Amino acid sequence: MSAAGPRATTEQLASLAPLAGMSPERLGELAEVAVIERAPRGSDPLAGRLDGKHSIFLLHGELLLAYEGGGTMVVVGGGEDTRQALNRQTRRLVRVKAITDVDLLAIEDDVLDILATWDQVAAAGAGGDSALGHAVRSDSRLVTGAFSLANLRSGAFAQLPAAHIDELFKRFERVKTARAQVLVREGDEGDYYYVVESGRFQVERLVGGAKVVLAELKAGDAFGEEALVSEAKRNATVVSLGDGVLLRLDRQHFNELLREPLLRRLSFEEAAARVREGALWLDVRYPSEYQYDRLPGAINVPLAEVRNMFAVLDKGKEYVAYCQSGRRSAAAAFLFAQRGFKVWVLNGGLKAAERAG
């Protein structure tokens, strides 16, 4: 297979059976991650890839397909026989030969599955009682923001059971905001989880009586989860910088639909086994606590600093987060999981480690 060629177009993607009916905005996102590959005449462009993690479609050229148990077939790019992935058909392929130079399109199976699941659930909701499901299919701001492909692949929604998606569409409320409106106030009880649909929002905190700006949030960003997961007071204030729209989920439905599916808990014995296999301990307590009784080899990332570590920690590694009781580590693990990190929670915190000796 030669190096990747030009980028796929939305028209090419729309012609493929698994993607028919998807919005132009969703197809545009997919075009960013799909890869066009070119292979010369006489080659087998699917060699070693028939059972891989990508679905392969023929865009241009001619291929000779040889099937398990005998039988061959010639297919031409752009025809009805090439609307389905070559390596995902009922009849199993054993080899392929390029009759001409060919252009192939490769898309990750996980990406196709994620988009198909969310698109179909949204479609079902659009005909029923889910106003948000209809909006996801018709409002480009949601497709490219709160429910963008990036968020569905590695954000808070990435690990949701399919059965929870429809409930999520039903339970989210769309809330309009005005300039200078306070959505979350430092010191208040946690009541809602928010996802930004549109607009800009400022996160600020009082330090020594002075206001310190911590971050600015945009479409697709989330806030309010820390207080809900750790069952603590709000640790910052969030203010709308102009007109905007938020999606909000109350505490009960946040816990049922997002928190528990995203938090993966391990006993101390299970966590220690993960660490022996290469995972890293992540101590999310204050530095003063960390210095006193940290676990061997642990990295200190205080809960308040988690967002600053998204670009520092290696996403390719696995982590086990812990604190004293498990509350702060649950909040940290949720924040990391929203950004695609693989983080477990030490169930019961250091107290569990002490009981295990």
Residues 193, 199, 205, 206, CA torsion sign: negative
184 neighbors 239 (Cβ within 8 angstroms):
no
Please enumerate in sequence order all residues whose Cβ is within 8 A of that of 198, keeping only pairs 6 or more positions apart, or say none: 141, 145, 219, 244, 245
323 included as an active-site residue: yes
For the chain, percent helix, then strand, then coil, each to nearest 5? 35, 30, 35
Q: How far apart are CA 281 and CA 291, in angstroms?
A: 14
φ and ψ of 190, to 5 deg:
-75, 130
Find the distance separating the first CA and the last CA of the chain, reported in whole Å. 55
Per annotation, catalytic residue among 323, 332, 333, 343? 323
CA distances for 215 relative to 42, 223, 302, angstroms: 55, 11, 17
CA max distance for the chain = 78
Record the tokens describing residue 244, joined without a space: 């905007």
Crossing angle between the packed helical segments 109-126 and 131-138, to the nearest 10 degrees? 130
Q: Which residues are catalytic?
A: 323
